Amino acid sequence: MFKKSGQRGFTLIELLVVIAIIGILAATVLASLGSARKSGEDAKVKQQLASLRSQAEIYATSHGSKYYTSASDSVCTDGASLTAGLGATCTAATDGSAWAAFAPLTNVTGKSWCADSLGASRQVATPTGGVTVCPVAS
């Protein structure tokens, strides 16, 4: 009763359409992963600088409420394991009253994350140097 045709499987056109759809979906997923990776790197920067602030407070507690007094005796030198690979810049007041650490963000061009001895933590324009407090974001 039924007539069997000699064709089995998919045609070349059908296979090409499926491959094109899979390629489009893969490209979309890979593009999303790139921005997620950058956001993850920025989250790492923020967490590492928060850890630096905690370390600096511990240092000040055991050194008469004084922070670091020079670049060679800075929060970044003592916290080298925390800032490794971040490209962090640290500055300290010579009297030990203040310090600030900046690390560039990967997801926002020209911006850095700042943490300082006053407890501030925020996104700022990349500083030019010698700053011991996080500038107010503009």
Tens digits of per-residue pLDDT, 94-116? 888 888 888 899 888 889 999 99
- What's the pLDDT score for residue 5? 63
Chain-centre distance for alpha carbon 86: 8
DSSP 8-state class, residue 74: S
pTM above the 0.85 mark? no
Q: Identify the pLDDT of residue 82.
A: 60
What's the pLDDT score for residue 72?
Answer: 57
Six-digit token pair at 7?
A: 């064709």
Q: Exposed/middle/buried for 61, CB within 10 Å: 0-12, 13-18, 19+?
A: exposed
Quick one: pLDDT at residue 22?
97
Q: What pLDDT is recorded for position 9? A: 82
Task: Give the pLDDT score at 138.
Answer: 56
Share of the chain above pLDDT 90, in %: 22
pLDDT reported for residue 131 = 83
Return d(Cα 67, Cα 65) in angstroms, integer: 7
Which value, in Å, is the radius of gyration of the alpha carbons in the chain? 26
Residues of the chain with pLDDT under 50: none
